[in-house]
Structure 1
């Protein structure tokens, strides 16, 4: 299959199996130390997949040579992640545009619910180019890092308890996550696109071992929030994937106590650094993390092609 681009566009074709490794090396993430581990994990997850599962990997050909590549990585629940081409000289920028057109057409043809990517300030593709090819900006995320040794000062001790989230039924997990999301300032456009079930599945997909450190938060015999932590051994740190309280328990100092608990768990595991991502518009959360000594080390913008499929609804 070849893309139906204007006559002056480069040839875009589905990558043949024999050139797959060469194509993957043409992705920007293959040349970015910050993304190499994530790309390696994504490729490893595809090792035993049949060739048909690689039909989202596209390449441009010029004089028989592979010039550039783009990959729409399939994810569960009919979602996908987009891996961009590596930077090309300006005279070859038409390859990137041609690949984006092919990827967008593939996403539409497969009715993908959401095909996303995170765009950093050093990204090989501009925000304007992504918008030109139909991508929408969903959020701007500040990536923060802090020390597990730091503790926020508390006016009084708040007896929070942590119960493994796996001890709750799937429906209970969904209901708790839905309650925590009510009124949240984090990634509101993304929450409008994805159901609670899709969001929770996304957390599970990030790391099969992560749920060992996922907790429901208790206070005075009530379940009041969630704390999702994920070890990142390859990076020597832990990630705070999600920390949140249900609406009735916000503004009572529980967030400060909960962050202290998360930092203590990381420190007890021998980890010195904790990272997290917070929506740029979530000023209350950003203030809390800054008070705990967290500083911003990167900012990324979340973009996506959104499909027309129906949201997955919460079970009755």
Structure 2
């Protein structure tokens, strides 16, 4: 339902303004990175939210003034592109941004979206206040790290940790799912986020990242049983691999097994021909950061993560 004021109107974008609205909503994304995202808009989807059902505009004096977009993402999640203004962000913009965000969240709620996630460069972004007023909560600051991959027989040391790895094809979905759930217990990586999403939806999102290969979804076990999970995805267009998820159960922590998991990730990423391996980690997760840094990963950017779950209506 449109949100009205004496000077402006907030509503879902009309068909004839969708092109301009989505271009504005994605203004912060480099043009060369928009193609694949926009191609997905025209493809059939099973997501409960239509591709442009969450594309919201602020109209002022009959002209497009601002736009925001809840982009449907696998696993009943929406990635929020927060309000962008056609001209310089005006004084008092927070109230209008909150109106826009409430129309976005109403559309997501009506469609049954479980989680809406927004990424901002840092807490100095004034839209943080707008997101908070619209029911979003800050859960983490993600650091994005990367390293080049070895060639030939070069490999990382893992301090003699003896782990065996079984792929999803060997271990089966239910076993991998069970171990992932165990790794979430008392995790320092985005704590609290696991409760906001169904695990099946989380794994659906992981599967949609890059090129899916069940041989790169791994359960790690020691002599006593399963202790961790390693999920890799390949991005062939950029010659990169991504460490989508890595986790250890409580029994596996504090034993140096993180080094063994990262060493296996580096080995497998190099084996598929990637030149670089990327990973995102919660800045507050000091043990994981130390493992990555010891393995040669270097931070190159960061993003503030804010979420709104369906339970927080």
Q: TM-score range by the shorter chain?
A: 0.7 to 0.9
Instruction: Verify: 1:32 aligned to 2:29, yes or no.
Output: yes
Equivalent residue for 1:127? 128
1:117 shift after superposition: 1.3
Instruction: Name the count of aligned residue pairs.
Output: 304
1:97 shift after superposition: 4.2
**Greater alpha carbon shift after TM alignment, 14-23 vs 68-77:** 68-77
1:26 shift after superposition: 0.8
- Say if 1:250 and 1:308 are closer, same or farther in 2 by CA, change over 3 A: closer
CA–CA distance in 1 between the matches of 2:207 and 2:126?
29
Write out per-residue CA displacement over residues 233-260 of structure 1, whole angstroms, 9 at most, x where no aligned residue.
2333111111122222222222212211
Equivalent residue for 1:313? none
Unaligned runs of 5+ residues in structure 1 are 311-316
Q: Secondary structure at the match of 2:273?
A: coil
CA–CA distance in 2 between the matches of 1:284 and 1:75?
30
CA–CA distance in 2 between the matches of 1:46 and 1:212?
29
Q: Is the Cα contact below 8 Å between 1:147 and 1:273 reproduced in 2?
A: yes
Equivalent residue for 2:39? 44
CA–CA distance in 2 between the matches of 1:80 and 1:52?
11
Equivalent residue for 2:284? 281
1:285 shift after superposition: 0.7
Instruction: Verify: 1:235 aligned to 2:238, yes or no.
Output: yes
1:95 shift after superposition: 5.2
Q: Is the Cα contact below 8 Å between 1:84 and 1:124 reproduced in 2?
A: no
Write out per-residue CA displacement over residues 253-306 of structure 1, whole angstroms, 9 at most, x where no aligned residue.
222122111111222233232111111221111111111121211111111122
Equivalent residue for 1:54? 52
Q: Is the Cα contact below 8 Å between 1:186 and 1:279 reproduced in 2?
A: yes
1:185 shift after superposition: 0.9
Equivalent residue for 2:2? 2
CA–CA distance in 1 between the matches of 2:124 and 2:240?
24
Alignment of 1:220-299 (within 5 A): 220=223, 222-299=225-302
Q: Is the Cα contact below 8 Å between 2:135 and 2:312 reproduced in 1?
A: no
Q: Is the Cα contact below 8 Å between 2:211 and 2:234 reproduced in 1?
A: no
Equivalent residue for 1:147? 148
Runs of 4+ deviating beyond 6 Å: none
CA–CA distance in 2 between the matches of 1:252 and 1:162?
17
Unaligned runs of 5+ residues in structure 2 are none
Alignment of 1:154-173 (within 5 A): 154-155=158-159, 157-173=160-176
- Say if 1:49 and 1:260 are closer, same or farther in 2 by CA, change over 3 A: closer
Write out per-residue CA displacement over residues 197-227 of structure 1, whole angstroms, 9 at most, x where no aligned residue.
2322221233452544211123337332111
CA–CA distance in 2 between the matches of 1:32 and 1:80?
17
Q: TM-score, normalised by structure 1?
A: 0.83
CA–CA distance in 2 between the matches of 1:309 and 1:97?
16
CA–CA distance in 2 between the matches of 1:268 and 1:208?
15
Equivalent residue for 1:13? 11
Q: TM-score, normalised by structure 2?
A: 0.84
Q: Is the Cα contact below 8 Å between 2:158 and 2:260 reproduced in 1?
A: yes
1:166 shift after superposition: 3.4
CA–CA distance in 1 between the matches of 2:280 and 2:110?
32
Q: Is the Cα contact below 8 Å between 1:111 and 1:308 reproduced in 2?
A: no
